[in-house]
Structure 1
Amino acid sequence: MNRLRNHIEEITPVSDEEFEYIQRFFIKKRVRKHQYLIEVGDKVTFEYWIANGIFRTFYIDEGGREHILQFGLENSWLSDYNAFFHQTASQMNLVCMEEAEVLCLTLSAREKMASELSKMEYFFRRKVTNDYTAQQHRIISLLSQNPRQRYEEFGSQFPEIIKKIPKKYIAEYLGISREMLSRLNAPDRRRSLS
């Protein structure tokens, strides 16, 4: 739980008493590799703070093609937020890519905590703002950058996972084929693909 406190205090300080209160709202869960926290059609009752591990959020289109919306690493918050905030069925999947530990938070717990502690309302507002701007940046990147630029940005954004996860997932995240990713990795071809 100290990691959660450190994470919160990156945005706002909390006293020992406040943190004692905050941690009561969270449920700790160990997650196995390949275990789903959310599957399409599930009612989404939790958002998850990643204490450790790697996750991916994705959906599968009508043609059976997987589209990765985001990766989640330590200190990330993940859920199908449309389904979470509206308490409806999920349209995407959230799966663990390596052994992990998460803290689970229900919407009612989040709302209660935020209404009783203005620091936590501020914390969640900042997190949502940061996540929104990151998603907007990702969309603009997909629309305006070439594959080489997207790959280099991914490498600088996620240097710790680029060698940990299968290349097919990196390609799906970047919106390119596995073959294109292989060409981007080939040292003698890097300049010609820029």
Structure 2
Amino acid sequence: MHDQLRTHIEKILPLNDDEFEFISSCFTHKKYKKHQFLVQEGEAASYNYFVLKGLLKLVYSDETGKEHIVGFAMEDWWETDFPAYYLETLATMSLECIEDTEVLCLNLGDYKRLCTQLPKLEHFFLEKAYRGFISAQQRTISMMTVGIKERYEQLLEKYPSLVQRVPKSLLAAYLGVSRETLSRLPL
């Protein structure tokens, strides 16, 4: 299971065995069942999760109770309620399993220890943050400037395997439309 993490990190920077042994010691392995929560709104977001197997959804519920899907995370993706995790505040979002899921968990103390004692890993996390920020900006611009059909096509082009695994109702929530609207699209 840690080999998957090593392969993931080495896409950005090389590691020797001692470095990876130190990195591995900072993570814990956990398994969750479908519909189980890793993070719940109003509670602490104690970990940043690296997905080994499975599928997660990050959800924000508004004051009316309507769920807005902020993002999904599948194999080799990282996810948590990042503001709650990094600022050590209570979560404003929930992270739930769409499928049975296995993750590697990194608490904030170990994250900081990794970045301090292995500075090149701070570079890795910075690269991941940049890529996440770019993706979030692209999604925001897409939501503001293109129609639902184009947004769905962009999602399909960028993440074809994700679209195959996520129920249409959740895809619709992610795209900001009703399931009925998504079903009516000439795709």
Q: TM-score, normalised by structure 1?
A: 0.93
Question: How much has 1:158 moved relative to structure 2?
Answer: 2.0
Give distance in 2, aligned partners of 1:54 and 1:170: 13
Q: Deviations over 1:75-98 (max 9, x none)?
A: 111011110111110000000100
Aligned counterparts, 1:131-142, within 5 A: 131-142=132-143
Superposed structure 1 runs of 4+ greater than 3 Å apart: none
Q: How many residues align?
A: 186
Partner SS for 2:162: coil
Aligned counterparts, 1:43-58, within 5 A: 43-58=44-59
Aligned counterparts, 1:1-194, within 5 A: 1-184=2-185, 189-190=186-187
Give distance in 1, aligned partners of 2:66 and 2:96: 16
Question: How much has 1:103 moved relative to structure 2?
Answer: 0.3
Give distance in 2, aligned partners of 1:110 and 1:123: 12
Give distance in 2, aligned partners of 1:77 and 1:22: 16
In structure 2, list runs of 5 or more residues that go unmatched.
none
Question: How much has 1:67 moved relative to structure 2?
Answer: 0.3
> Given residue 41 of structure 1, which amino acid in structure 2 is its aligned partner?
G
Give distance in 1, aligned partners of 2:119 and 2:139: 30
> Given residue 95 of structure 1, which amino acid in structure 2 is its aligned partner?
E
> Given residue 104 of structure 1, which amino acid in structure 2 is its aligned partner?
C
Identity of paired residues, percent?
Answer: 38
Give distance in 2, aligned partners of 1:29 and 1:52: 11
Give distance in 2, aligned partners of 1:162 and 1:76: 15
Q: Deviations over 1:114-157 (max 9, x none)?
A: 11112101101111111111111111111111011001011112
In structure 1, list runs of 5 or more residues that go unmatched.
none
Kindly name which structure, 1 or 2, has the bigger radius of gyration based on alpha carbons.
1
Give distance in 2, aligned partners of 1:39 and 1:175: 22
Partner SS for 1:119: helix
Give distance in 1, aligned partners of 2:36 and 2:82: 19
